[in-house]
Amino acid sequence: MIIRMLKRRSLIVIVFGLIAFLSYEWSLLAPKADAIPAFARKYNFACNVCHVPGFPKLNDFGNLFRDHGYQMGGENDLPEHESINMGYWPVSLRTQVGYRSLSIGPDGKNGGEVTNGSFGFKTLNLLSYGVLAKDTSYGIIYAPNLNSANYGAASTGSDLPNAFVRLNNLQRFLGGDATSYLMNVKVGKYEPELPFSAFRNPTQFNTPIVFYNYRAGNPYTSANFPANSRISSGYGNSTMSSLQQGMNGLELAGIKPTSGTNGYFRYSLNAFSTTGPFGNGGGRNMIFYGHATQSFDGYGIVSGHRIGISWWQGDSPTVANPLVPAGQNNAAGGSGGTSGTGKTFSRVALDASTTFDGQWNLFGSIIHARDSKDLIANTAGQGPRQDAVWNGGFAELDWYPTELPFFGTPGWLLLYRYDLVRNEQQGLRSFQGNYNNVDSHTWMTRYYIHQSARTDVAWHTEYNWFRTRATGTNGRDVVGQMFFTGIDFAL
């Protein structure tokens, strides 16, 4: 299935770009964890010990700290250890304030557009991660409902994007290597082990990775843009609406150093309930997801290189579930589903990451997706249904310069990301083949003003431009732009 993706010229550029960099002469690079200011206060170090060069992106050490269940491996991990001040509270707060402008509308002089610009703040997150007892860790993110959030637009409601408990190092009970962390079990609500984390990507507040949030038939406008009358309604599709949201599930995961590679083998196997981003109120169906990676000469973020494969497989219910309130149902035809009425969907992805010169990280992923025709809404007058098939990908280059002329060690992070989606087959034959194809370009600069064991402050500037093909109500392409500049800080 993946081979068919090569028919699209722009996707070929991504694939060969990744291959070229992965075939670059590999060398040992100087190594540089999920840390929030609460961890920095606990262990008394600055957040750049775990981040590149500051929050939220993790460096190699930070990723290993996360994979070990937010533990260093010593007695000082425990919440009652004598080195921890008893007034310590493992909670951090993060928000982003500044100016944001939006512009969206059909392409062309006669298409018209909708614009908006405002000072304000995006959202508020209260985060708590840590250790409940030896080898028992947890994570909670609370996002309260704030009427003035999102630059004056009311938030949709309070939520817990993350709420989980993780039992670590279980292989020791089976006589295995007690230092490898090859068996760990997580239960609750959490972000899946995606090819590259959406929660920790520096653009998470403003410009999401496109294929994580793409659903065939639903015009892509990014999370910043609400629906408006200048964008067509597309066609209904009851498959999952997002890969990156917190999902209700159970995970078996592990990491193990591998001899001969100077790297790590990692895996994550998950069973998710059919709720939330799967577009329905849920029955007893399960969605299965797996991701496996192998790194070389490091973890593959600050040092070394990494390759991986991931897949989604399951079904999404298509018949209304009478035990779920009508407002919570959202499958084909406008209602959620019950167990036993599901229709299949699948996602298969390859990912790769490479580093060079101690300050560059190039990474990306390609995906092939298929949704059963029975998940497509049967709307009168829109033609016969068929499987919806699409391909997508992204490539991102991050640069955290170790030294700049006149600035010394500056504390900058700069990135560029290109996202694309190409439809191979529409879910309704009446829609043209390139309907809702996406091209997106994102540029970001981030300067770390202050980092300590108490606070982190960064000046963040970001610009995104995207085009979706033929999604305007007049048949034109839709073009959207987003600009933000302001202060991102965590306490």
pLDDT at 113: 74
Q: Are 232 and 473 in contact (CB under 8 A)?
A: yes
| CA distance readout (Å), 4 to 381, 389, 419, 435, 447 | 30, 11, 18, 18, 41
pLDDT at 7: 43
pLDDT at 29: 29
Name the maximum alpha-carbon separation found in the chain.
71
> How confident is residue 406, by pLDDT bands cut at 50, 70 and 90?
low
Domain 2-490 has CATH 2.40.160.10: yes
Q: What is the pLDDT of residues 102-154, one digit of tens each?
A: 988 887 655 567 788 999 998 888 999 988 988 999 999 998 888 788 787 66
- Counted residue by residue, the chain has a size of 491
Q: What is the 3-state secondary structure (H, E, C) of 151-165?
A: CCCCCCCCEEEEEEE
Average pLDDT over residues 285-294: 92
Q: What b/e string do you get for 90-107 counting C-beta neighbours within 10 Å, with b at 16 or more?
A: bbbebbbebebebbbbbe
Q: What is the pLDDT of residues 301-335, one digit of tens each?
A: 999 999 999 999 988 776 666 665 554 444 433 33
> How confident is residue 97, by pLDDT bands cut at 50, 70 and 90?
very high
Q: Residue 485: pLDDT above 60?
A: yes
> How confident is residue 409, by pLDDT bands cut at 50, 70 and 90?
low
Q: Residue 400: pLDDT above 80?
A: yes
Q: What is the pLDDT of residues 153-167, one digit of tens each?
A: 666 667 888 999 999
> How confident is residue 411, by pLDDT bands cut at 50, 70 and 90?
confident
How far is Cα 62 from Cα 138, in angstroms, rounded to an integer?
Answer: 16
pLDDT at 380: 60
Q: What is the pTM of this model?
A: 0.85
pLDDT at 53: 84
Average pLDDT over residues 294-298: 96
